Amino acid sequence: MKIAFIGLGNMGGPMALNLKKAGHEVRGFDLSKPACDKLAAEGLNIATSAAGAIAGAEVVISMLPASQHVEALYLGSAGLMEQIPAGTLVIDSSTIAAATSRKVAEAGAKRGVAVIDAPVSGGTGGAIAGTLTFMVGGAEADLERARPVLEKMGANIFHAGAAGAGQTAKICNNMLLGILMIGTSEAIALGVANGLDPKVLSEIMRRSSGGNWALEKYNPLPGVMETAPASKGYAGGFGTDLMLKDLGLAQENAAAVRAATPLGGLARNLYAAHSLAGHGALDFSSVIKLVQARAA
Amino acid sequence: MKIAFIGLGNMGGPMALNLKKAGHEVRGFDLSKPACDKLAAEGLNIATSAAGAIAGAEVVISMLPASQHVEALYLGSAGLMEQIPAGTLVIDSSTIAAATSRKVAEAGAKRGVAVIDAPVSGGTGGAIAGTLTFMVGGAEADLERARPVLEKMGANIFHAGAAGAGQTAKICNNMLLGILMIGTSEAIALGVANGLDPKVLSEIMRRSSGGNWALEKYNPLPGVMETAPASKGYAGGFGTDLMLKDLGLAQENAAAVRAATPLGGLARNLYAAHSLAGHGALDFSSVIKLVQARAA
Amino acid sequence: MKIAFIGLGNMGGPMALNLKKAGHEVRGFDLSKPACDKLAAEGLNIATSAAGAIAGAEVVISMLPASQHVEALYLGSAGLMEQIPAGTLVIDSSTIAAATSRKVAEAGAKRGVAVIDAPVSGGTGGAIAGTLTFMVGGAEADLERARPVLEKMGANIFHAGAAGAGQTAKICNNMLLGILMIGTSEAIALGVANGLDPKVLSEIMRRSSGGNWALEKYNPLPGVMETAPASKGYAGGFGTDLMLKDLGLAQENAAAVRAATPLGGLARNLYAAHSLAGHGALDFSSVIKLVQARAA
Amino acid sequence: MKIAFIGLGNMGGPMALNLKKAGHEVRGFDLSKPACDKLAAEGLNIATSAAGAIAGAEVVISMLPASQHVEALYLGSAGLMEQIPAGTLVIDSSTIAAATSRKVAEAGAKRGVAVIDAPVSGGTGGAIAGTLTFMVGGAEADLERARPVLEKMGANIFHAGAAGAGQTAKICNNMLLGILMIGTSEAIALGVANGLDPKVLSEIMRRSSGGNWALEKYNPLPGVMETAPASKGYAGGFGTDLMLKDLGLAQENAAAVRAATPLGGLARNLYAAHSLAGHGALDFSSVIKLVQARAA
């Protein structure tokens, strides 16, 4: 299949390569020259513009940092949507505002272009390994068309609902994850301050009603779980500033629909304080530092 | 084995009956006459005083509402600890301050009485079914002595550490549970406000990084999970006011050790607001009402 | 002076009338026909379109509900900014995102139109009485040009800084106000729950380090202060949903500049919960209900 | 008047000296030998025990760190209350749990000893200058008896209600103060992150509905207010760990009466995080560091 892939960063790059490896004819593009060069060196076919990348493509995939980049790519007078032929399938895997996803989908519908929003979780590790989770918003039939492509990049594909629902599902999930991680950090820190062994306490809570993904896969305290970022100096994983961005999207969405998310709002602001303290580039589980004793 | 059981309420009553069913010789007592009468009617041997209950007992078990009741029972000039013979094993299953558990253990140690704190989770359902989880603080050897007795009342027994550690493990776990439940409620309510199907969203998060015990066993939205209290009018389960008490103990403990638990503190105060709104007797998962649209 | 006034709602209507009363030649417009009719009945000259209102005006004032309305009015291909002659002064008194204010100011600068953002506080009471507070962003000279006009509508005029700074000052102030009101409510409710007389406690805190505007002018408990909305069934004043909007803008801004505002974020979500409970139309000081005992 | 003064620390020491300066016959005592020596060097008459200090005293004043110290001093089998003659007036100025104050008052009532709780605000500066604020719980008549003595140490005397009410008023006020300071810090930091001048913004909010004691007397940003601790490296003033203690008492009280204080609870936990970061000894207004950008 002929696939255009726009956005070749830490996530988009390996995703595009996985599609190539699976036998698809992929043409990529990124506004960053170094990103293009890096992928070219790894064998990816690179176009000289976004418009060049989509020429002849049956499927267009985009993986961009924020709402404004997606709007700039597809919409407006110079937007790509004017040039994409009817019948093409657009898969936007960027994590952006649900409202923007709906705008792009509506613009596509007017032109006969099928659009699904398909943000991912799983981080750069999942992008490289091809084990991402896709949360998809859009028509069932369009998801089915996309499935063979998505399966080459991910291990789990969820249909969340209509256009924008993929974005909503992702921010709901990540808001909950952001809460779980701080809550788990607090519980462990409280136990440690009382003299408990963090491994013992973590295991008790994991097997009790406190059980959650953080205790299962991603313990925030160094030394409890060898494979977790905490035990590797909080390197790799999912950065604090990325979590902060997602929690900001969740609050923006909550404001738009007048939802109440007291813990979600607090979590956003605690990650912000953690980032202001200089930890924005560390894995988000480093937020446990906020509730641990340390020197001034 | 001859067992004294002090405190025959909604938890203690069925626990005592399970021990009797298992063939132990149990003598019970409660300051509430109706509680004693109810258990007598179910065949339990009732003493006329706490002192009467412990006469000749090899094991003394207590299940009381709060720290002051445990202090009043065991300590002080008229306390039971003065009358319990050396060599007896005391199992206190009340959920109380870790500091109080340590005081009782120290008083026991002076008299040659082994004391373990063994608070439970699992609610009245677990008490009746004999599937409680015990979180135990005290010496390993004393826990081994208690194990055959505990196994008649519970399905899981965790050794959390030295005296008081059972209490600490329990409040850490329940603080985390209190956070998980509100966080899960917020995420579902945010999704629903955006038009998502709560069953679909719950399933996506359950299988993603938002996964936690509430999504697994105890979904807070009516209709998502048939067996959950939410689908039964929030009847039964674990009452809001009980969760409120545990979260209050967690904050008291955090103040004592100067720990920082921002989400735990907020969770306590949100359950308090929910209780003030008249929902204290409902299952704690009803806290989702706080973030759902409803009439004034 | 010839003044165009766009937006004749609860705030804009009385503001326009005050300008007329002061002798200015005011032509108004609102997309809502009933709003226009109401003001016409009160003697205001009404134009048939926004473009009609600005014809010949030296000063254009707008008072609209949200960022998208201001963008739609001034910007875009059909925007008013294309038609406003160079030399005109635009005063936007809407409370909107600072980023939008800056966009409008930049569009004006390109055309030689001076633009200041001048959001207000003081509510409908202040609008009618002409005692509003203006927080102004823009060039000092432009503010001086606007001052004689602003003085007919308000009692206090603050220069906060460059374009957008009026908006920022307003959301900073209102975020703080939102926090003060909940904090004051909590302190009073805690005292009352301990048996203290709320009048005595309020007076002690007012004269001590807890002193703040809410205790001074706007006590949230009915009966403490006769003139406060609390003593009038929380009617009038500044509605919960308006506070909710401002706190949403503050969180949106915090996300944009990566600021940490834990109490501000929590306050937004508590007003949201209060609104979801059906109290959105009551004065924002009714948020004390959230921390008071009441029937289910 | 013959006055016994128990507790000669940073607060009690200067308070006792002010009474001596006013012509009273003061005998002091402290469990710390260095504290006694220091006050002796300043001319205070020092007793060799608490019992020695009260011999012959008409008024007994105590200024101790926490509930357990007050309980140990007055109550129990070896407590001072057994030795204080009927007719004596006891003024406890310690900041402790209201429940403990009530216990001491009840013990006094049984023996014909009048007891008032009279915690202070104003810090060591106020103690030295004799300008403290007293918040008094107890009978009106007993406060009148105490007034001439209190007036030598303080500038404001408030009668909050019956026994324990002084403590409650103080924690309500200090909980509110703790909230005001963080809220004010957030608002200023948000403005600064948007490019506003903190002096201009502070002045705007001080004169608007965000006005509060922190903006009036105690701006948390260095350089805004020359006399504030912020402009002196956060030295002196009211330490973070003292604020943390008071907010812990407020949460303990809230748990006891089932009150909901979401901002108060969050404030406690944010000061705790600030203290864990190594800032416990700095003035509490240094909490602004938590929301300011800084290096890791």
Q: Nearest-CA residue of chain D relative to B66?
A: D256
Q: Which of residues 20-59 of B touch D (CB under 8 A)?
A: none
Q: Which of residues 98-117 of D touch C (CB under 8 A)?
A: 98
Distance of alpha carbon B6 from alpha carbon B64, whole angstroms: 8
B164, B189 contact by CB (below 8 A)? no
Catalytic one of A170, A199, A217, A232: A170
User: From CA B143, how far away is CA D292, in angstroms rounded?
Assistant: 49
CA distance D291 to chain C (A): 5
* Partners of residue C182 in chain D, C-beta under 8 Å: 262-263
- C162-220 confidence digits (pLDDT tens): 999 999 999 999 999 999 999 999 999 999 999 999 999 999 999 999 999 999 999 99
Whole-complex ipTM: 0.94
- Determine contact, residues A123/A89, Cβ cutoff 8 Å: no
Residue D279, sorted as left (phi over 0), alpha (psi -120 to 50) or beta, turns out to be: alpha
Decide if A291 and D273 are in contact by the 8 Å CB cutoff. yes
pLDDT confidence of residue D207: 93
The Cβ-side half-sphere exposure at B75, using a 13 Å CA radius, reads 15
What pLDDT digit, counting tens, does each position of D163-186 carry? 999 999 999 999 999 999 999 999
State which residue of chain A sits closest to B266, comparing Cα positions: A263
The length of chain B in residues reads 296
User: Are D272 and B258 a contacting pair at CB < 8 A?
Assistant: yes
Residue C256: burial class (beta carbons within 10 Å; 0-12, 13-18, 19+)? middle
Q: What is the mean pLDDT of chain A?
A: 96
Note if B170 is an active site residue: yes
Q: Does the structure show a pLDDT above 90 at B76?
A: no
Cβ-based contacts of A265 with chain C (< 8 Å): 251, 265-266, 268-269
Q: Which residues of D touch A293 (CB under 8 A)?
A: 276
Residues paired with residue A61 on neighbouring β-strands, in sequence order = A5, A91
User: Mean pLDDT of residues grouped by 10 in chain D (296 residues)?
Assistant: 96 97 97 96 96 96 96 89 96 96 97 97 91 97 98 97 98 98 98 97 96 97 96 92 96 96 98 97 97 74
Q: Which two tokens stand for residue D83?
A: 């030795």
CA dihedral B279, B285, B286, B290 (to 10 degrees): 100
Q: Please, which residues 242-271 of chain A have a Cβ atom closer than 8 Å to chain C?
A: 244, 248, 251-252, 254-255, 258-262, 264-266, 268-270
Handedness of CA A99, A101, A106, A110 (dihedral sign): positive
Average pLDDT value for residue range B197-216: 97
Residue C58 neighbours by CB distance under 10 Å:
16
Q: Residues 6 or more apart from D141 whose CB is under 8 A from it?
A: none
Q: Does B129 touch chain C (CB under 8 A)?
A: no
In A57-206, beta strands by DSSP E: 59-62, 89-92, 114-117, 120-121, 132-137, 154-161
Strands C2-6 and B154-161: unpaired
Q: b/e per residue, A251-284, with b = 16+ CB within 10 A?
A: bbbbbeebbbbbbbbbbbbbbbbbbbbebbebbb
Task: Give residue A6's identity as a one-letter amino acid code.
Answer: I
On whether any CB of chain A is under 8 Å from the CB of B277, the answer is no
Cβ partners under 8 Å of residue D269, min gap 6: B254, B260, B261, B262, B264, B265, B266
What whole-number distance in Å separates Cα of residue C227 and Cα of residue B51?
Answer: 62
CB interface of B with A, residues 184-203, below 8 Å: 184, 186-191, 193-197, 200-201, 203
- Judged by DSSP in three states, D85 sits in coil
Nearest to A272 among C248, C259, C269 (CB): C259
Catalytic residue among B38, B170, B232, B245: B170
Strand, helix or coil for residue D135:
strand
- What's the angle, vertex CA B184, arms to CA B179 and CA B187, rounded to 5? 125
> Residue B265 and residue D276: Cβ atoms within 8 Å?
no
CB pair distance less than 8 Å for C296 and B273: no
pLDDT digits (tens, 9 = 90+) for A139-190: 999 999 999 999 999 999 999 999 999 999 999 999 999 999 999 999 999 9
Identify the band that residue A257 occupies on the pLDDT scale cut at 50, 70 and 90. very high
**How many Å from the N-terminal Cα to the C-terminal Cα in chain A?**
57
- The average pLDDT across B112-131 equals 94
Nearest to A91 by CA among A127, A18, A129, A145: A145
User: B68 CB contacts (<8 Å, ≥6 apart)?
Assistant: none
Cβ of B251 and D261 within 8 Å? no
Which residues partner with C31 through β-bridges?
A: none
Helix (H) or strand (E) holding A17: helix A12-21
Q: Could you tell me whether strands C114-117 and C89-92 are parallel, antiparallel, or unpaired per DSSP bridges?
A: parallel
Average pLDDT of the residues in A276-283: 96
SS3 at position B4: strand
Tell how strand B25-29 and strand B2-6 pair up: parallel
Is the pLDDT at B251 greater than 80, yes or no? yes
Q: What is the DSSP letter of B131?
A: -
| Amino acid, res. C144 | E
Cβ-based contacts of D251 with chain B (< 8 Å): 251-252, 255, 265, 268
Nearest-Cα distance to chain B for D142, in Å, is 32
Q: Do D268 and B255 touch (CB under 8 A)?
A: yes
For chain B, how many helices (H) and strands (E)? Answer: 12, 9
Does C247 have pLDDT greater than 50? yes
Beta bridge partners of C239: C283
Q: What are phi and psi of B32, to 5 degrees?
A: -85, 120
Residue B266 distance to chain D (closest CA, Å): 6
Q: How far off is chain D from B271, nearest CA to CA, in Å? A: 8
E strands of A77-187, at which residues?
89-92, 114-117, 120-121, 132-137, 154-161
- This prediction has a pTM of 0.95
B15/A161 Cα distance (integer angstroms): 47
Q: The tokens 């025959």 sit on which residue?
A: B8
- How far is Cα B162 from Cα B105, in angstroms, rounded to an integer? 10
Identify whether the C-beta of residue C269 lies closer than 8 Å to the C-beta of residue C244: no
CB D71 within 8 A of CB D96: no
Q: Is C253 left (phi over 0), alpha (psi -120 to 50) or beta?
A: alpha
Whether C233 has its CB under 8 Å from any CB of chain B: the answer is no
Distance of alpha carbon D34 from alpha carbon A278, whole angstroms: 42
CB nearest to D204's CB, from C158, C188, C258: C158
C-beta separation of B27 from B61 below 8 A: no
pLDDT exceeds 80 at position A295 = no
Minimum Cα–Cα distance from B269: chain C residue: C291
| Cβ separation D269–B254 shorter than 8 A | yes
Amino acid identity of D172? C
- 3-class SS of residue D109: helix
CB–CB contacts below 8 A, A to C: 64
Confidence (pLDDT) at A14: 97
Q: Taking phi first (over 0 means left), then psi (-120 to 50 degrees means alpha), and beta for anything else, what does residue B119 get? A: beta
Count of pairs with CB atoms under 8 A, one residue in C, one in D: 245
Q: Report the pLDDT value the prediction gives residue D125, as an integer from 0 to 100.
A: 87
Which residues in chain D have their CB less than 8 angstroms from residue A276's CB? Answer: 291-294
Higher pLDDT, C27 or D78: C27
pLDDT per residue over D187-243, tens digit each?
999 999 999 999 999 999 999 999 999 999 999 999 999 999 999 999 978 999 999
CATH 3.40.50.720 residue ranges of chain B are 2-162
What pLDDT does residue A124 have? 87
Q: Looking at the complex, report in whole angstroms how far the Cα of residue A48 sits from the nearest Cα belonging to chain C.
A: 31
| Distance from the A52 Cα atom to the nearest Cα atom in chain C, whole angstroms | 29
Instruction: Identify all chain A residues contacting B270, using CB atoms and an 8 Å cutoff.
Output: 262
CATH 3.40.190.10 fits C168-291, yes or no: no
Matching residue, tokens 């003065």? B82
Catalytic residue, candidates C170, C217, C232, C245: C170
- For residue B287, which residues of chain C lie inside 8 Å, CB to CB? none
For chain B, where do the domains classified as CATH 1.10.1040.10 start and end?
168-291
Higher pLDDT, B124 or A135: A135
Spell out the CATH class of B2-162: alpha beta
Pairing of strands C114-117, C120-121: unpaired
Which amino acid is present at D210? Answer: G
3-state secondary structure of C263: helix
Q: What is the CATH number of domain C2-163?
A: 3.40.50.720
CA distance A296 to D279: 6
C267: nearest CA in chain B? B266
The size of chain C, in residues, is: 296
For residue B77, what pLDDT is reported? 75
Closest CA to A183 of B255, B181, B292, D264: B181
* Strand partners of residue A159: A136
- Determine the Cα–Cα distance for residues D283 and B295; give it in Å rounded to an integer: 45
Count Cα neighbours of D88 within 13 Å in the Cβ-side half-sphere: 25
Show residues of chain B in contact with C278, CB under 8 Å: 294-296
Q: Is C291 on the interface with A (CB under 8 A)?
A: no
Name the band, by pLDDT with cuts 50, 70 and 90, for residue B236. Answer: confident
As a whole number of angstroms, the distance between CA B248 and CA B96 comes to: 11
pLDDT at residue D163, as a whole number: 98
Per-residue CA distances from D252 to B71, B247, B274, D256 (Å): 19, 11, 19, 6
**Nearest by CB to D208, which of C121, C208, C259?**
C121
Res C296: pLDDT = 45
In the stretch 140-159 of chain B, residues with CB closer than 8 A to chain D read: none
- Rounded distance, CA C129 to CA B41, Å? 75
Q: What is the pLDDT of residue B64?
A: 97
Which one of D278, D279, D291 has the shortest CB-CB distance to A273?
A: D291
Question: C294 pLDDT exceeds 80?
Answer: no
For residue B296, pLDDT over 50 is answered with no
**Cβ contact A249:A256 at 8 Å:** no
Q: How far, in Å, CA of A71 to CA of A66, rounded?
A: 9
State residue D122's pLDDT score: 87
pLDDT at C295 over 70: no
In degrees, rounded to 5, the angle at the alpha carbon of residue D148 between the alpha carbons of residues D146 and D149 is 65
Q: B277 to chain C: which residues are within 8 Å by CB? A: 277, 294, 296
What per-residue confidence (pLDDT) applies to B222? Answer: 97
Minimum CA–CA partner of B184 in chain A: A176
Residues of D in Cβ contact (< 8 Å) with C270? 262
- Under an 8 A CB cutoff, do B172 and A191 touch? yes
Percent of residues, chain A, with pLDDT higher than 90: 95
Poorest-pLDDT segment among A96-105, A122-131, C173-182: A122-131
Residue with tokens 């008052």: D105
Lookup: tokens for B48 = 């006329």
Question: What is residue C137's three-state secondary structure?
Answer: strand
Q: Which of C1, C11, C14 is nearest to C63 (CA)?
A: C11
| Closest CA–CA distance from residue A281 to any residue of chain D (Å) | 11
CB D106 within 8 A of CB D112: no
Q: Is the pLDDT of residue B295 over 70?
A: no
Q: Kindly report, residue by residue over B29-68, the tens digit of the pLDDT.
A: 999 999 999 999 999 999 999 999 999 999 999 999 999 9
- Which residues lie below 8 Å from residue C132, measured CB to CB, with a gap of 6+? C15, C120, C121, C122, C126, C153, C154, C155, C156
Please tell me which residue of chain D has the smallest CA distance to A293.
Answer: D276
